[in-house]
Structure 1
Amino acid sequence: GLQADIEAIGQAGAHAAIACTAITVQSSQQVFGFEACAANLVKAQATTVLADLPVSVIKSGMLGTTDNITMLTQLFADAII
C-alpha cells in the first residue's frame, strides 16, 4: 500500500506526501483487515499537504469509506484552479 506507493513515486523522481485513509493488517501476500480513518482526520491530513507543497498529481488507493470518498471528491474539486 503506502510503502509501495512511496517507493514507486520516489523511483519516478517525485516526492510522495501521504494522507493515510486506512490502517491495514496485511502480509506481503494478503490483506487480513483494515480500519478506515475518520473523514475529518483524512481531510486534515490532505489540507495540510495541499497548503504545504505544490501538488501536481493525486494518486488514491483504498479510501476506506464512502464518507472519505465524498469528502475528498469535494476537497479536490475545491482545490482545482
Structure 2
Amino acid sequence: MERRELILLFIHDYTTELSIAPTFREVGGGVGLKSPATVHEHLTVLKDEGVITYIEKSSRTLRLTDKGKKRVANLKDGEKWRT
C-alpha cells in the first residue's frame, strides 16, 4: 500500500474513533513519517487530488472530501479481498 493511501486510512480511522481530525504531526506519527515537511508534502498532494481538505496554519482541520471517502471505502474493500 502506498504511503498516501496509508495517510488517507489513518485520517479516516482517527477521525472515526476520536471524532476530531488529526494534526499533521499525528498523521506523521501514525504512518511512520518523522519529518513535518514530508507529511505536509503528502497532504498537499492529497489536497491537490481533491481527496482531503484543510486550512493552512490551522490545527485539526483535515477532512476527507466525498472523493476521499470513496477512495477510503475502495481501499478498505481491497483489504477485505487480501485477507
More helix by proportion, 1 or 2?
A: 2
More strand by proportion, 1 or 2?
A: 1
- Name the TM-score class by shorter chain: 0.3 to 0.5
What TM-score, normalized by structure 1, do the two folds share? 0.34
Instruction: Specify the structure having the higher radius of gyration (Cα).
Output: 1
What TM-score, normalized by structure 2, do the two folds share? 0.34
